[in-house]
Amino acid sequence: MGNALRVLFEIVFLAAAADEPIVLHATTDPNAATLAFHEELQRLTTQEARGELLVRMYDAHVPLLRQPLAHP
């Protein structure tokens, strides 16, 4: 088990006006990824950020979780 492949989860912000995604957190623990997602969601909502917040596996093309951020 010492050589087991570890999956890397990333919390990524895709800003509405940005060309490149921003990796906010990376972890091998899915529970830590979930907590980081909710912390970043709260922070970005408070800042009225526009774009999308994602949880994805490293190098995955489809996010595991996606939250659009749009504020009036």
> Is 72:33 a contact under the CB 8 Å cutoff?
no
| pTM summary value | 0.83
pLDDT band for position 6 (cuts 50, 70, 90)? confident
The pLDDT tens digits of the residues spanning 16-46 come to 888 899 999 999 999 999 999 999 999 999 9
What is the pLDDT confidence band of residue 5, given thresholds at 50, 70 and 90? low
Contact between 11 and 25 under an 8 Å Cβ cutoff? The reply is yes
Q: Where are the domains of the chain?
A: 27-72
pLDDT at residue 2 above 60?
no
Widest distance between CA atoms in the chain: 50
Residues contacting 38, CB < 8 A, separation 6+: none
Amino acid 45: pLDDT? 95
Task: Check residue 16 and give its pLDDT.
Answer: 87
